[in-house]
Amino acid sequence: MTAWYKKNPEFFEKERRELAKASPLMGLSIMRPGFPLNRYTKLETEAVVAHGTHQVAIPNSHSHLEYKIALLTPPNFPDRPPVMFCDDPKLPWRHNPDRHVFGQGQACLAVNAEIQLHWPPGSTLVKFLERLVDPWIVWQAYYDAHDEPPPWGARDHGREGIFDFYREQWGQPLPGAFQTKAFMELLAMKKTPKGHHPCPCGSGKKLRDCHLPLVAEKWSALDRRDVKKDLEIVKVTTE
């Protein structure tokens, strides 16, 4: 696959200009293997990375927050979103699992399948900063100032947060983890789920006689690659 910045150099330049305008202490460049995304992770293959200090204005004040971050763009950007790595000593994520950061410093900005609801495929890096990174940074800054998570919004990190998102997609409470996982497995299938599967609602009926329309609708709406990533997290953290 030809990487996005080689296939479309004009788009790369446009992204670079827009980023420089929106977040002047960050740069967008083509990085060689070995480039450190943070203290723990190095690039394995050449890629475009947005890196530096990102500033977020604090509403109703003249000050701003500053965090060192790196956004790694995948070769098929912007069909697929960037991945954010934290690289700021202010963020004590190594010792605190509620910080929404994975082991190598990869920020958990949302449940994987939820990212496209905030950042539809084809969006820009600046939109990724505004929609996903800024709210995450504000959340972290509140935690730093008050020594506890803020009262608003974030889902639980890991398995419980993922289950919550898929229960919302179902639209009514699913009876339990087993059913939620069965729903996710249908959404992760390569082809539209067919009627012979057991329905994840737990009715004991086949999908075709039960919730097939709902499952088919959500299968089309969510990207199965993201659902698969979410399933892997659920499996690792399920006893």
Q: Which residues bind Zn ion (CB under 5 A)?
A: 199, 201, 203, 210-211
* Shortest separation between residue 174's beta carbon and Zn ion, angstroms: 10
Nearer to Zn ion, 117 or 216 (CB): 216
CA distance linking residue 140 with residue 149, whole number of Å: 8
* Shortest separation between residue 214's beta carbon and Zn ion, angstroms: 8
Sequence-ordered list of residues with C-beta below 8 angstroms from that of 236, at least 6 positions apart, any chain: none
CA distance linking residue 114 with residue 218, whole number of Å: 12
Helix 212-221, helix 177-187: angle, nearest 10? 60
Contact 108, 85 (CB under 8 A): no
CA distance linking residue 93 with residue 102, whole number of Å: 8
* Shortest separation between residue 203's beta carbon and Zn ion, angstroms: 5
- Stated length of the chain: 239
Helix 177-187, helix 159-170: angle, nearest 10? 70
- The β-bridge partners of 48 are 30
Nearer to Zn ion, 112 or 179 (CB): 179
Helix 224-237, helix 177-187: angle, nearest 10? 150
* Shortest separation between residue 68's beta carbon and Zn ion, angstroms: 47
* Shortest separation between residue 205's beta carbon and Zn ion, angstroms: 6
Nearer to Zn ion, 137 or 210 (CB): 210
Nearer to Zn ion, 159 or 211 (CB): 211
Nearer to Zn ion, 141 or 201 (CB): 201
* Shortest separation between residue 3's beta carbon and Zn ion, angstroms: 43
Nearer to Zn ion, 76 or 203 (CB): 203
Structure tokens, 99: 């910080």
